[in-house]
């Protein structure tokens, strides 16, 4: 899909805002289970997302942006071991990191597909920049995953259907 | 997981509110593509969800409810043919109905698991009642799916990982 600049910016803002909200939830969750290190990481990610959103908003200025549907920007819900265990499942730092990672990868892939397909030079440039940023987030999460103990219930599979 | 009554009611309210919002989006989407019949169905579902939420709220009265995390009540995002096609994909009534159905099934299974596992008689009773209600929604959506033309790109697989 070849976006106009306002369409693209609407996606980017909604995605950053969504990421910020989810990171805050994850930070609170980690904090309530006394995992202060991972909580601090998620709070940093929360702040970065808000900062990025604000800088995109500045760029938008008074341009009117289209209203998006939630499935165009929302994070995927984490896969579950069974619905009733969703809560227990996410309190493990490892699983929370994996959940965040899956959604950062999704954002990265989204931006890459826009870079590849857009006919608008500015959309192309911005999408490339944002894809690189998401890649850094994925790498940061991978570092943390490397240092985090794997719980007995993990989620290793890509939960998305193959395309 | 065995919920207390306030925990259970918090889930039920959040799930109804989420369903109401998603049905409204789907109704608008169908309307903008001139599918007035399916749009009307989604508007009905939107109204039912709000009514159900309101009746649960009445029951809650002034009891304080716990604050939930988004992954405990949000609808799953629809599976995609490719991120850039998410928009095109959902404009098909068939796919929108399938998306709604998958989330109604998820709600039904959630309520059933609560009925089966709860130690609180009132939670058990309400969860059973709500599960039956969700089952009616699934049946209504199935009827519509039976009458709706399948597009070339459909989603037949259960997108969730097997448990």
Q: Which residue has the higher pLDDT, B86 or B117?
A: B117
CB contact at 8 A, B139 and B92: no
Confidence of residue A153 (pLDDT cuts 50, 70, 90): low
Neighbours of B152 (CB within 10 A): 5
Range list of β-strands (E), A5-157: none
pLDDT for position A77: 82
Yes or no: say if A43 and B43 are a contact pair by the CB < 8 Å rule.
no
A140-144, B99-103, B154-158: least confident range: B154-158
pLDDT digits (tens, 9 = 90+) for A51-82: 999 999 999 999 999 999 999 999 988 766 45
Chain B interface, best mutation among A29, A33, A69, A99, by max B CB count within 10 A: A69
Confirm or reject contact between A131 and chain B (CB < 8 A): no
Write the burial class of residue A105 (CB in 10 Å: 0-12 exposed, 13-18 middle, 19+ buried).
middle
Q: pLDDT confidence of B91, banded at 50, 70, 90?
A: confident
CATH of B5-61+82-147, one of 3.40.50.12780, 1.10.1740.10, 2.60.40.10, 1.20.1260.10: 1.20.1260.10
* Percentage with pLDDT > 90 across chain A: 77
CB of B109 within 8 Å of a chain A CB? The answer is yes
Give A16-64 pLDDT, tens digit per residue. Answer: 999 999 999 999 999 999 999 999 999 999 999 999 999 999 999 999 9
Percent of chain A clearing pLDDT 70 (strictly above): 87
Is the CB of residue A96 less than 8 Å from the CB of residue A77?
no
How near does any CA of chain B get to the CA of A150, in Å?
Answer: 18
If you classify domain A5-73+87-147 with CATH, what class do you get?
mainly alpha
User: Any chain A CB within 8 A of the CB of B70?
Assistant: yes
């Amino acid at each position: 899909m070849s976006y106009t600049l306002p369409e693209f910016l609407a996606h980017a803002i909604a995605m950053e805002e969504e990421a910020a909200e989810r990171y805050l939830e994850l930070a609170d969750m980690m904090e309530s289970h006394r995992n202060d290190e991972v909580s601090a990481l998620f709070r940093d990610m929360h702040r970065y997302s808000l900062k990025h959103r604000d800088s995109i908003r500045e760029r938008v200025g008074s341009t009117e942006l289209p209203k998006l549907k939630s499935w165009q920007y929302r994070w995927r819900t984490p896969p579950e071991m069974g619905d009733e265990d969703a809560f227990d499942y996410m309190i493990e730092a490892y699983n929370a990191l994996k959940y965040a990672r899956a959604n950062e990868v999704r954002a990265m892939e989204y931006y890459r597909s826009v870079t590849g397909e857009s006919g608008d030079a500015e959309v192309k440039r911005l999408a490339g920049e944002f894809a690189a940023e998401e890649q850094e987030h994925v790498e940061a999460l991978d570092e943390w995953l490397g240092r985090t103990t794997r719980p007995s219930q993990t989620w290793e599979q890509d939960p998305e259907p193959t395309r």
